[in-house]
Amino acid sequence: MCPILCGTPTLYFFNSHNTRSKFHYLVFNLPTFQFLSIFTPMFQQFVDSTFDEFKEVQRELFINFITNWIAHFTNRNINKFSLMVTNPITCWDTVERCVAFATQHGVKDLVLDFSDPKWDTNNIYDDHDALFHLTTLVYQLGSSIESLKLYSCGFGYKFENFSALKDVSLGWIEVHINTLKTFLSTCKTMESLSLERCWNLVHFDSEDIQLGLQRLVLNKCDTQCIKS
């Protein structure tokens, strides 16, 4: 797995030809990749409001790198594809291109995280609209997906093609109980379901929802009338 962090203040890694050659081989041949467009705490001093221009430059570099990576990727299939982008509306076309690319290459583990690190994880009433929604192509070509993690990423009801899905994690989205029931009744191979910072789970009944699940996790969710 090779993560790319957008937000790192040092770009000297690419200075030597030898390093660039090795990096080129590593990047365009590995079947597992993570694109992280977030500023980690260790670089918090670089995300002050006075560094907005710096952040915009970093975002542009990040998007250009992804575009180039997709254009030169040489492996036939992708095992894992992770995309973490705050405020995806600023690079909507790139996000859609990434999702389509991963799906078309038979991705098994798909992670789409559009949540903002600044959101209050301890306030269950701090709701946010999903910043992205799964595209039609994911539903059409989702038969290879075994693990699906969606954060601030909405989804619909068309789960019929998710025939290999085993592990699902949802976070920072509104989830209705009927949606979960449809999800689980359709994806009979699902073994694990994790809900983090989800809301409007009205009349949540763990016995009713578990069905064939081996693992069910609720973390800081807004649930009402919980039964177990």
- Phi, psi torsion values for 168, nearest 5 degrees: -130, 130
Identify each DSSP E strand in the chain by its residue range.
2-5, 32-37, 80-85, 109-113, 132-133, 147-151, 153-154, 167-171, 192-196, 199-202, 215-219, 222-224
Collapsing DSSP states into helix, strand and coil, what is residue 114?
A: coil
Tell the residue number behind the tokens 């430059």, with chain if given. Answer: 57
How far is 185 from 196, CA to CA, in rounded Å? 21
The CA angle 85-32-114, to the nearest 5 degrees, is: 15
Q: Per-residue confidence of the chain (228 residues) as pLDDT tens digits?
A: 444 444 333 333 333 334 444 444 444 455 566 766 544 333 334 444 445 676 777 778 888 888 888 888 877 788 999 999 888 988 899 999 999 999 999 999 999 999 988 888 777 666 788 999 999 999 998 899 999 999 999 988 788 889 999 999 999 999 888 888 888 888 888 999 999 998 887 766 666 665 678 898 988 887 654 454
Residue-range definition of the domain harbouring residue 173? 2-224
Residue with tokens 């542009």: 60
Q: What's the pTM?
A: 0.77
| Run of H or E including 136 | helix 136-140
CATH of the domain at 16: 3.80.10
If one counts the domains in the chain, the total is 1
Q: Are 105 and 144 in contact (CB under 8 A)?
A: no
